[in-house]
A and B are shown apart, each in its own frame.
Chain A
Amino acid sequence: MKHAQVHKLALMAMLLAFAVVLGVVDYAIPFPFVPGAKLGLANIVILVALYELGIGEASLIDLGRVFIVGGITGRIGQLGFFMSLGGAAASLLMMILLKFLARKMTIIGVSACASITHGFAQVAVYCLFVQNITAFYYYPLMSLIGIATGILIGILSERIIATKVIERQKEHYGFNQPKKKTVEPMAATSLIDESDKKEDESNHQP
């Protein structure tokens, strides 16, 4: 058991590293003309973690990513950091809600909805900070771009999950496996006693 948990932790650390790298790359790519719009590449890792590992693991990776990327880009304590934190928390919550309540939606739909929620939360945090709601005028355009990037991220996440690379890790090292159902042995009285059956037949011969 302990061996499995160590491997799970190593996998989570690797996913966190991927998320951080994608987050930093995301931060470096400006999206002109629409303030605050980003590709959201790090959400690929969060979605994969949520679908493959679970809520707790995805939450830890998401939170860790926000803090580490905030530290690398020097935004800890600044408005941009709190906007990222708010957006990440809101989008993760939306992913969790849709995954477990809207089971008919695929990962692509979940990703698109989470992307819109991310944008909303970021703008809301900004407006709360500066006590001015002007920034909400940008939100409709941000939503459209968020839907497009969310669909893209969802498609990429779906492809990654389809490769079963994490699935194989889970099976091999034995963590996050679904619980096996134990089969109850059938009751002895339900079996037909062959010897009783033959005795009956002999009693009924003309």
Chain B
Amino acid sequence: MTSKDFFHKYLWDIIVVGALTLVSGGFAIYLAIPKNSNEHIANVSKDSTVILSIDLSVESATVREVAIQGAMTPMTLGVKKNAICVLESGCRTHDCIYAGWVSDSTHPIVCAYNHVSIQVGPKSLYITV
């Protein structure tokens, strides 16, 4: 098959898939760029409820462990100055652990197995009771 025939046959595939790739790639690159912000409150949510809010700006450089109970298994979070990560989880794929340390709102950590998500955000104006 010549290149002319190739492009003729797959023209619409290239156009549609290429457009989707550009859009997805653009968003992925935008989200991957670290943001310097003063968002330092890590909100740990289980389902739709925030079960824990941690002010990361007052943490020390030494990693501190925080234990939480996920929907299925216990999890251990690691907390240090302006960053949070998942150290241990009972889920199968450990995607939440591979997400590593996060410091801003564009990089949440999600553990689908335990219904837990961790997102760094600005300080809430309200105290919630």
Contacts and interface: CB of A to CB of B under 8 A. Distances in A.
B126 interface: no
B69 interface: no
Q: What is the interface residue range for chain B against chain A?
A: 20 to 34
Contacts of B27: 139-140
Interface string A71-90: 00000000110010000000
A108 B12 CA distance: 10
A30 to B, nearest CB: 5
Nearest to B115: A130
Contact of B28 (A79, A132, A134, A141): A141
B1 interface: no
Interface residues of A, number: 34
A134 B112 contact: no
B112 A30 contact: no
Given A126-B112, A134-B108, A134-B117, A35 B16 contact: no
Given A112-B16, A137-B31, 5 more contacts: A32-B94, A102-B12, A130-B45, A131-B48, A143-B24
Interface of B: 9-13, 16-17, 20-21, 24-28, 31, 45, 47-48, 92-96, 98-99, 106-108, 110, 112-113, 115, 117, 119
